[in-house]
Amino acid sequence: MLVVGAHAFDAEVMAGPLAAAAVKRGATVTFLHLTMGEQGHPYLVPAHYCVQKEEEAGSAAERLGVAMRSFGLRDGFLPTDDQTALEVGDIIRELKPEIVITHWHGSWHKDHRAAAHLTKTGIFFAGLPTVASDHPAHTPQLLLFGENWEDDDGFRPEHLVDVSDGFEAWRDAVMEYELARGLSSFPYVDYYSSLYRLRGCLRGTRHAQAFTTASHSWNAGSGLFSLPFGKGSGR
């Protein structure tokens, strides 16, 4: 599984509990941070905050049991050009994920919209055997969009997945970030803890995460969604 986030911390909230639960079941998960989100500190200059967030992201990944990649692109100016999408596609070719998760495109944040575009286009390029690469072509079985408080325009919670086994690991992981410990006025941990509990109530489990899909043409094999996580996980 590959989770593509616009900024470090986005992958963790979109799919962190799911990732931790999947790792416990033997899955291999990678978080790809397109930027570090270095513009978001009220006092530190971006270069210094970038170093801090790289360390925080690495510690969070260790707690979740996931691998981490980063592109080091500029926060707030995430491009949508084909060259960057080709680089995303090359990661997909290399890692060969069955499932890719990224931002829903209905976001007020331009970097989140860019991440959705880069991921979709990267999947397209990854599947083209004529594209020059050190890795063979690969097409994931499923593209999913995670739930993020900034990406709620038109988001529909089509799939509710039991992530109860991953919730505590997620909570420990996100607390590695200063962003989760009061740096922002937005109560991230309270919000997402409550959201996962709400989705769990609807799923009939302690905690759950919601995901949506692009279209049936993107995910002709969407019935495969439950396979990596155990019978009955997709709902």
Segment 62-110, tens digit of pLDDT? 999 999 999 999 999 999 999 999 999 999 999 999 999 999 999 999 9
Segment 8-42, tens digit of pLDDT: 999 999 999 999 999 999 999 999 999 999 999 99
Q: Is the pLDDT of residue 220 over 90?
A: no
Segment 118-169, tens digit of pLDDT: 999 999 999 999 999 999 999 999 999 999 999 989 999 999 999 999 999 9
Strands 208-213 and 99-103: unpaired
Q: Give the model's pLDDT for residue 216.
A: 56
| Helix (H) / strand (E) containing 94 | helix 82-95
What mean pLDDT comes out for the span 189-213?
97
CA distance 34 to 103: 12
Among residues 145, 110, 122, 109, which one has the least CA distance to residue 69? 122
What are the structural domains, with CATH classification, of the chain? Answer: 2-217 (3.40.50.10320)
For residue 214, name the pLDDT band (cuts at 50, 70, 90).
confident
Q: How many CB atoms lie within 10 A of CB 129?
A: 8
pTM over 0.85: yes
Q: Give the model's pLDDT for residue 227.
A: 37
Q: Are 172 and 60 in contact (CB under 8 A)?
A: no
What mean pLDDT comes out for the span 54-60?
98
Q: Report how far Cα 235 is from the mean position of its chain's Cα atoms.
A: 19
Q: Are 147 and 211 in contact (CB under 8 A)?
A: yes
Q: Could you tell me which residue, 14 or 232, shows the higher pLDDT?
A: 14
DSSP state of 227: G
105 phi/psi in degrees, rounded to 5: -75, -15
DSSP state of 210: E
Among residues 89, 73, 85, 70, which one has the least CA distance to residue 31? 70
Q: Are 103 and 60 in contact (CB under 8 A)?
A: no
For residue 223, name the pLDDT band (cuts at 50, 70, 90).
very low
> Rounded mean pLDDT of the chain?
92
What separation in angstroms does the CA of 24 have from each of 20, 165, 192, 229? 6, 8, 21, 10
CA distance 86 to 38: 24
Q: Give the model's pLDDT for residue 154.
A: 92
